Amino acid sequence: MREKAFSNSWPWLFCILWAMMGCSLSADSSAAIPAPLQPQDPEFAEAIVNPFGLTDIGNNATPFFVDIDADGDLDFFCGKLNGDILFAYNLNNAYAPSFGPYQTNPFGLQNVGSYASPCFC
Ligand SMILES: [Ca+2]
Ligand SMILES: [Ca+2]
């Protein structure tokens, strides 16, 4: 009987220890953990226009990035409203991309008439 009473007291003992630890942790952790950001208070860095050497190619641009030369970085394809597809190699690397000059309809691609939208699967 005494053994059973002892085993029944473990949950209570655990709760008491947990509460004691929780009290000390909550006092320390409240100062260390910053308040979570709220969705209504986002902070954005200043906008960068045409980064990585890419320039404005007009309305209805449909960019797509794929590693066409298998060198480990993504290269740039972009469909145009007039049906052309522009292409630029990533001349740097995957971590700091820098794109070369645009080529129009390379690799045997042809103008598709309007609203070109390249996609690689
Ligand atoms: Ca590449
Ligand atoms: Ca490259």
Ligand 2: distance of its center to the CA of 92 in Å?
5
pLDDT cut 70: percent of the chain above it:
74
pLDDT of the residue at 36: 78
Q: How far is the CA of 102 from the centre of ligand 2 (A)?
A: 14
Amino acid making up residue 16? I
Rounded to the nearest angstrom, the distance between the alpha carbon of 47 and the centre of ligand 1 is 26
In this prediction, residue 6 carries a pLDDT of 47
Give pLDDT, residue 11. 54
CB neighbourhood size of 70 (10 A): 7
- Report d(CA 74, CA 64) in Å as an integer: 9
CA 95 to centroid of ligand 2, rounded, Å: 11
Per-residue pLDDT tens digits for 52-95: 989 999 999 999 999 999 999 999 999 999 999 999 999 999 99
pLDDT reported for residue 25: 47
How far is ligand 1, taken at its centre, from the CA of residue 90, in Å?
A: 6
Q: Nearest-5° angle of CA 24, CA 28, CA 34? A: 140
Å from CA of 77 to ligand 1 middle: 11
Strand 75-79 relative to strand 85-88: parallel, antiparallel, unpaired? Answer: antiparallel
Q: What is the pLDDT of residue 10?
A: 52
- Confidence band (pLDDT; 50, 70, 90) for 30? low
